[in-house]
Amino acid sequence: MNITVEALRTFTEQVFVGMGCPQADAELAADVLVSADSRGVDSHGVARLAGYVRLLDLKRLNPRPQITVVHETPSTAVVDGNAGLGLVVAPRAMQIAIEKARNVGTGWVAVRNSNHFGIAGYHALLATEHNMIGWTMTHAAPLVAPTFSLEKMLGTNPVAVAIPANEEPTFLADFASTAVAYGKMELLQRKNEPTPEGWAQDADGQATTDPNAVKSGGALLPLGSDRQHGSHKGYALGAVVDILSGVLSGANYGPWVPPFATAGFMTADEGVGVGTGHFVGAMRIDAFRPAQDFKNNMDVWIRRFRNAKAVEGQRVLIPGDPERETEALRRHQGIPLHPTVVKTLEELGARFGVPLRVPL
Amino acid sequence: MNITVEALRTFTEQVFVGMGCPQADAELAADVLVSADSRGVDSHGVARLAGYVRLLDLKRLNPRPQITVVHETPSTAVVDGNAGLGLVVAPRAMQIAIEKARNVGTGWVAVRNSNHFGIAGYHALLATEHNMIGWTMTHAAPLVAPTFSLEKMLGTNPVAVAIPANEEPTFLADFASTAVAYGKMELLQRKNEPTPEGWAQDADGQATTDPNAVKSGGALLPLGSDRQHGSHKGYALGAVVDILSGVLSGANYGPWVPPFATAGFMTADEGVGVGTGHFVGAMRIDAFRPAQDFKNNMDVWIRRFRNAKAVEGQRVLIPGDPERETEALRRHQGIPLHPTVVKTLEELGARFGVPLRVPL
Q: Which residues contact A333 (CB under 8 A, 6 or more apart)?
A: A2, A360
Q: Are A112 and A197 found together in one domain?
A: no
CA distance B59 to B46: 20
With contacts defined as CB-CB under 8 Å, which chain A residues touch B273? 297
Q: Are A108 and A247 found together in one domain?
A: yes
**The pLDDT of residue B262:** 57
**The pLDDT of residue B360:** 53
Give a yes or no: residue B328 inside a domain.
no
Give a yes or no: residue B265 inside a domain.
yes
Q: Which chain A residue lies closest to B101 (C-alpha atoms)?
A: A75
Q: Are B52 and B192 found together in one domain?
A: no
A267: pLDDT strictly greater than 80: no
> Domain of B292: which CATH number?
3.30.1370.60
Residue A206 pLDDT level (bands cut at 50, 70, 90):
very high
Out of B104, B236, B308, name the one closest to residue A319 (CB). Answer: B236
> Domain of A190: which CATH number?
3.30.60.50
Which of residues B164, B188, B220 is at a domain's end? B220
User: How near does any CA of chain B get to the CA of A100, in Å?
Assistant: 10
**The pLDDT of residue B183:** 82
Q: Which residues contact A208 (CB under 8 A, 6 or more apart)?
A: A195, A197, A200, A201, A202, A218
If one counts every other C-beta atom within 10 angstroms of the C-beta of residue A203, the result is: 12
User: How near does any CA of chain B get to the CA of A228, in Å?
Assistant: 8
Give a yes or no: residue B327 inside a domain.
no
Give a yes or no: residue A326 inside a domain.
no
The pLDDT tens digits of the residues spanning A224-258 come to: 999 999 999 999 999 999 999 999 999 999 999 99
Q: Are B241 and B307 found together in one domain?
A: yes
B40-61 per-residue burial string, b: 16 or more CB within 10 A, e: under 16: bbbbbbbbbbbbbbbbbeeebb
**The pLDDT of residue A260:** 81
Q: Are A71 and A34 found together in one domain?
A: no
Q: Which of residues 13-32 of A touch B (CB under 8 A)?
A: none
A263: pLDDT strictly greater than 50: no
CA distance A341 to A34: 13
Domain count, chain B: 3
Residue B87 and residue B49 in contact, taking contact as beta carbons nearer than 8 Å: no
Q: Are B77 and B137 found together in one domain?
A: yes
Whether residue B243 and residue A304 make contact (CB cut-off 8 A), yes or no, is no
CA distance A58 to A261: 9
Radius of gyration of chain A from its Cα atoms, rounded to whole angstroms? 20
**The pLDDT of residue A360:** 53
Q: CB contact, 8 Å: B317 with chain A?
A: yes
Give a yes or no: residue B130 inside a domain.
yes
User: How near does any CA of chain A get to the CA of B230, in Å?
Assistant: 5
Out of A173, A230, A316, name the one closest to residue B179 (CB). Answer: A230
Give a yes or no: residue A162 inside a domain.
yes
Out of A289, A293, A316, name the one closest to residue B146 (CB). Answer: A316
Q: CB contact, 8 Å: A241 with chain B?
A: no
Q: Are A294 and A164 found together in one domain?
A: yes
Strand partners, A78: A71, A110
Q: Are B5 and B132 found together in one domain?
A: no
Of A53, A274, A267, A262, whose CA–CA distance to A142 is shortest? A262
Which domain range does residue A277 map to? 66-176+224-319
Give a yes or no: residue A327 inside a domain.
no
Q: Which residues contact B9 (CB under 8 A, 6 or more apart)?
A: B30, B31, B34
With contacts defined as CB-CB under 8 Å, which chain A residues touch B152? none
Stretch A208-231: mean pLDDT: 96
Q: CB contact, 8 Å: B180 with chain A?
A: yes
Burial degree of A355 (CB within 10 A; 0-12, 13-18, 19+): exposed
- H helices, E strands: number in chain A: 10, 12
Size of interface A-B (CB pairs under 8 A): 259
Q: CB contact, 8 Å: A7 with chain B?
A: no
Give a yes or no: residue B325 inside a domain.
no
User: How near does any CA of chain A get to the CA of B245, in Å?
Assistant: 11
Q: CB contact, 8 Å: B309 with chain A?
A: yes
CA distance A48 to A52: 7
Mean pLDDT of chain A, nearest integer: 95
The pLDDT tens digits of the residues spanning A8-48 come to: 999 999 999 999 999 999 999 999 999 999 999 998 999 99
Residue A225 and residue B197 in contact, taking contact as beta carbons nearer than 8 Å: no
**The pLDDT of residue A184:** 87
pLDDT in tens, chain B (360 residues): 899 999 999 999 999 999 999 999 999 999 999 999 999 999 899 999 999 999 999 899 999 999 999 999 999 999 999 999 999 999 999 999 999 999 999 999 999 999 999 999 999 999 999 999 999 999 999 999 999 999 999 999 999 999 999 999 999 999 999 999 888 888 899 889 999 999 999 999 999 999 999 999 999 999 999 999 999 999 999 999 999 999 999 999 999 999 886 544 455 456 899 999 999 999 999 999 999 999 999 999 999 999 999 999 999 999 999 999 999 999 999 999 999 999 999 999 999 999 987 665
Q: Are A189 and A269 found together in one domain?
A: no
What is the β-pairing status of strands B132-138 and B276-284? antiparallel
Q: Are B143 and B269 found together in one domain?
A: yes
Whether residue A232 and residue B317 make contact (CB cut-off 8 A), yes or no, is yes
Q: CB contact, 8 Å: B314 with chain A?
A: yes
Residue A262 pLDDT level (bands cut at 50, 70, 90):
low
Q: Of all residues in chain A, what percent carry a pLDDT higher than 70?
A: 96
Q: Are A136 and A199 found together in one domain?
A: no
> Domain of B29: which CATH number?
1.10.1530.10
SS (H, E, C) A137-162: EECCCCCECCCCECCCCECCCCEEEE
Whether residue A283 and residue B243 make contact (CB cut-off 8 A), yes or no, is no
Which of residues A188, A220, A252 is at a domain's end? A220
User: How near does any CA of chain B get to the CA of A271, in Å?
Assistant: 12
**The pLDDT of residue B260:** 82
**The pLDDT of residue B261:** 67
Q: CB contact, 8 Å: A218 with chain B?
A: no
Which of residues B220, B248, B280 is at a domain's end? B220
Beta-strand ranges (E) seen in A237-287 are 276-284
Q: Are A139 and A210 found together in one domain?
A: no
Q: Which of residues 115-174 of B touch A (CB under 8 A)?
A: 133, 146-151, 153, 159, 161, 163, 171, 173-174
Whether residue A173 and residue B229 make contact (CB cut-off 8 A), yes or no, is no
A296: pLDDT strictly greater than 80: yes
